[in-house]
Amino acid sequence: MVPLATEGAKTMSIAFNAATAANVSMLQQTNSLFQISQKRVSTGKAIFGAADDATRYRMSDTMKNRAKSLDSVNNNISLALKTLETTDKTLSSMISQINSAQEIARKAQAEGAASTRSTQTTANILSTANITTVANMQYNFSITSDSGKNFTYSWNSGAANTTITWGTLADALNSANIGVQMTFEPSTTAGQTQVKFTSTNGKDFKFDGKTTETLMTPLLGLSTSTGGTTTLTAANALTYFANVAATTPTLSASETGFTVSYGGAVTGTVAVTGATAIATGSSLVFTDGNGQAQAYSNSTSATNVTAMLTEFNNTYGSKGIVMELANTAGAATTFLRIRNANGGNMQILAGTSAFAAAGTAGLTAGPTTGYAGPLSANNSLRLQYGAQFDAIIQNVNQLIANNPVQNGRNLLAGQNMGVVMDEFAGNTITVTGQNIQGNLSANTTLGLSSPGTAWTSDANIQLSASSTNTALTIIRDLQAKLATYNSYMQDRYDINKSYGSEMQTMSDDLVAADVAEESAKLQALQTQQQFAVQAFSMGTQASQGLLRLLS
């Protein structure tokens, strides 16, 4: 009982009866239920912790954690799939590149090796390289075509030892337009070139004896089919060309140069010199460069080899026949040689006196034939294709080395990749890589071990072409193997994603609230709350009326 108010103290008490207490309790309970329903409606959840429903909350939490684990597993699988996708693109690019290399090999085979009247060094010489010289020396470089045109390039090195590049010499020769061209062709050594001299007028040509010997020494490997010693060496260059002595090269009678000849030639077997006597009336019957029979008889003014050569060449040079003194064996001796400057066979039908078998000219008794030699194979275009082939193989090697990977594993470098496929880590697969790396212009692991620098024969080109087939087989097999991994992991990724989504849904369903039901409850509680407030208000008014009656 609350004390009543007294007149003196001016206080009063209200009786807090059972009805009022019930109204207060109902109002508090209604407010509590209202807050719960309001929370459920706003979150969509009916269970917020184990205190609400321990069983359902635990089941929901377990499913939620499994869904998170599956999501984490799928992140790992996704990285692996990206690695496989990137690697597959790299392999496809490699296939495209090797197909291009294969096409280049076919082109090289189809082009073949053109036949040319040419000679090429075996030594590597770059156009930018300086010609080796010594100070205060006169240098001469001379070439004469059988057309009669000559090119001579001369300079003095002086005290400063001035020199020129091989490219400068080539430019000068090519500009002279004598019927001989000097070029720098791809070498069988990558990045190097060799010097090539080619007849552009169908005529043979000669490196004249007055050429300084030290200019010819670097041109090792120059060859001739019918011109005498087959290959130019440092040793025989000393006997073919003017030797360096003091400040001016000295030319001996036996240094007659080096002839690049493919036409037939008949050479004497007895050494002769320009002073060797030729008896007046000595006759020679032969076939000229046009296939016509000719008869020569020396006059009274041509009674030695030097005079006879002048007389003979003045008459028959225009008909494609050249008679000359030639050092053909790389020794200090010369022999009489008659050759077909038009490229055909050289036939001697008969000879008398000096031109007889035992004559002073030293020629073999007729009839005799010097057969034309086969023209040299021009592999320049093939080697250019070969350089492109090697560049493609090098690019393939770069693709392998730079294969972009998502998780640090380059499968093309032989690295493996482990992938966990489920949340229990009980289904782990290892994607096995394959090392197909190469170096420079070769890749032995792919079978690409026949470089384009060796494309000087059909057999070598065929080896390279066949190697591309081997490489394509290896790459496609690897691509198929990785595609199998990709298919399996993609299926597992989809399963995990679907299962994880279902787990998350089930987890949410276990703790979810019936929003419609809770909304209805919320309305009912609002109404109940209003009634409780009204009841409490009415009870308070009754108590106040009683106080007024008692006052």
pLDDT tens-place values along the chain, 551 residues long = 444 444 444 454 444 566 666 666 666 666 766 666 666 666 667 676 666 667 777 777 777 887 788 888 888 888 888 888 989 999 999 999 999 999 999 888 877 666 788 899 989 999 999 999 988 899 999 999 998 899 999 999 989 999 999 999 999 999 999 999 999 988 878 788 999 999 998 889 999 999 999 999 999 989 888 766 678 888 888 889 998 766 677 778 888 889 998 899 999 888 899 999 999 989 999 999 899 999 999 988 888 999 999 999 999 999 999 999 988 876 778 899 999 998 899 999 999 999 988 888 888 777 899 998 887 776 777 888 888 998 899 899 999 988 877 667 788 888 888 888 877 777 788 888 888 887 756 677 888 888 888 887 888 888 998 889 999 999 999 999 999 999 988 888 888 888 877 877 776 666 666 667 666 766 666 676 666 666 666 666 655 655 566 55
Burial code (b: 16+ CB inside 10 Å, e: under 16) for 24-59 equals: eebbeebeebbebbbebbeeeebbeeeeebeebbee
Q: Which tokens hold the place of 551?
A: 């006052």
d(CA 508, CA 368): 110
Instruction: Please enumerate in sequence order all residues whose Cβ is within 8 A of that of 279, keeping only pairs 6 or more positions apart, or say none.
Output: 298, 303, 353, 354, 359, 360
User: Is residue 121 within 8 Å of 220, Cβ to Cβ?
Assistant: yes
The residues pairing with 377 across neighbouring beta strands, listed in sequence order, are 115
Q: Which tokens hold the place of 490?
A: 């993609």
pTM: 0.58
d(CA 402, CA 492): 29
d(CA 36, CA 29): 11
Dihedral sign from CA coordinates of 306, 308, 310, 313: negative
> Nearest CA to 199 among 378, 2, 32, 331?
378
Q: Distances from the Cα of 376 to the Cαs of 164, 206, 370, 404, in angstroms?
A: 29, 16, 18, 48
d(CA 501, CA 306): 107
Residue 499: exposure state from Cβ atoms within 10 A (0-12, 13-18, ≥19)? middle
